[in-house]
């Protein structure tokens, strides 16, 4: 019985000692590292549209469909693949005007359709707009400059690596300022990764003089896109 009690006490003391060692070893610094990089875009998305008012809904929709088919055929001829053309919006509704004498008056039906065109050839942006306008597009909604999937993966690696380096530098500074030495890393995790395409929101009707076309040409070459990454890291200190 006495031997068992002695062994129990010994084991309890050993656990206390081990726990104390672990508690001492578990002194850590928790930091967040970040990086903000800029890269040239290698992908563009152009939203072009057609909006028509006609006496009947059917005639308005038929006219929009005719023009949109002509735009798509023209873009195909210029080498734009079908997979890079996507209908984003279709709508049809009553077009009314208001005046004090007659109140709300129906003037016809407005049919609209928007087409998103994507390309990884930055030299084709002006050509895409030219083809759309020359085939009847009367709206340019926006132009976005971003990254292809391959570039996004590559730049994500670089941004995360820079964020991890920044986290380590912060941990070293904190440890030194408090009189400690930075130990091994305990845990690291990605907090966030994001890139913001550069967007030109235009939302303009195209005048006969082609002002919108010239404005689109004026924004090329595009501005860089921002790529940001954040990581959380926990380091031991000794």
Q: Say how far apart CA 112 and CA 65 lie, in whole Å.
A: 9
Q: Which of 102, 106, 104, 105 is nearest to 60 (CA)?
A: 106
Mean of the pLDDT values across residues 77-105? 88
Residue 68 lies in a domain: yes
**What's the CATH number where 97 sits?**
3.30.70.2970
Q: pLDDT at position 107, please?
A: 84
Supply angle C-alpha 44, 45, 50, rounded to 5. Answer: 145
Q: pLDDT at position 215, please?
A: 64
Mean of the pLDDT values across residues 23-35? 83
Residue 131 lies in a domain: yes
Residue with tokens 């390309």: 119
Q: For residue 99, what pLDDT band results from cuts at 50, 70 and 90?
A: confident
Instruction: Give yes or no for a contact between 55 and 108, defined as CB atoms under 8 angstroms apart.
Output: yes
Residue 237 lies in a domain: no
Q: For residue 73, what pLDDT band results from cuts at 50, 70 and 90?
A: very high
Which has the minimum average pLDDT: 45-54, 161-170, 190-199?
Answer: 190-199
Residue 88 lies in a domain: yes
Q: Say how far apart CA 1 and CA 141 lie, in whole Å.
A: 88
How many other C-beta atoms lie within 10 A of the C-beta of residue 191? 16
Q: Classify 113 as helix, strand or coil.
A: strand
Domain with 119, as residue range(s), is 44-147+199-221
Q: pLDDT at position 206, please?
A: 64
Q: Which of 48, 202, 206, 203 is nearest to 113 (CA)?
A: 48
Instruction: Give yes or no for a contact between 74 and 51, defined as CB atoms under 8 angstroms apart.
Output: no
Give the containing element (helix H, strand E) for 72.
Answer: helix 57-77
Query: Does residue 193 carry a pLDDT above 80?
Result: yes
Residue 100 lies in a domain: yes
Mean of the pLDDT values across residues 160-188? 93
Q: Say how far apart CA 113 and CA 102 lie, in whole Å.
A: 31
Residue 120 lies in a domain: yes
Residue 96 lies in a domain: yes
Which has the minimum average pLDDT: 12-21, 30-39, 174-183, 194-203?
Answer: 12-21
What's the total number of domains in the chain?
Answer: 1
- pLDDT 10s digits, 111-126: 999 999 999 998 888 8
């Amino acid at each position: 019985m006495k031997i068992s009690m002695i062994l129990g006490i010994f084991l309890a003391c050993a656990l206390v000692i081990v726990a104390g060692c672990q508690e001492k070893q578990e002194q850590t610094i928790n930091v967040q590292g970040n990086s903000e990089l800029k890269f040239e875009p290698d992908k563009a998305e152009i939203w072009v549209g057609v909006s028509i008012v006609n006496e009947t809904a059917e005639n308005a929709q038929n006219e929009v469909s005719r023009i949109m088919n002509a735009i798509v055929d023209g873009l195909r001829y210029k080498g734009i693949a079908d997979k890079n053309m996507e209908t984003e919006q279709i709508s049809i509704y009553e077009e009314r005007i208001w005046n004090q004498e007659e109140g709300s008056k129906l003037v016809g039906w407005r049919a609209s359709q928007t087409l998103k065109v994507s390309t990884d050839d930055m030299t084709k942006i002006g050509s895409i707009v030219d083809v759309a306008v020359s085939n009847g597009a009367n709206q340019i909604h926006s132009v976005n400059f971003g990254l292809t999937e391959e570039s996004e993966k590559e730049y994500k690696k670089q941004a995360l690596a820079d964020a991890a380096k920044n986290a380590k530098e912060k941990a070293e500074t904190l440890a030194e300022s408090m009189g400690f030495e930075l130990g091994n890393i305990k845990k690291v995790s990605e907090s966030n990764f994001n890139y913001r395409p550069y967007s030109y929101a235009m939302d303009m009707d195209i005048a006969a003089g082609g002002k919108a076309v010239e404005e689109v040409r004026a924004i090329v070459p595009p501005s860089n896109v921002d790529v940001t990454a954040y990581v959380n890291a926990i380091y031991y200190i000794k």
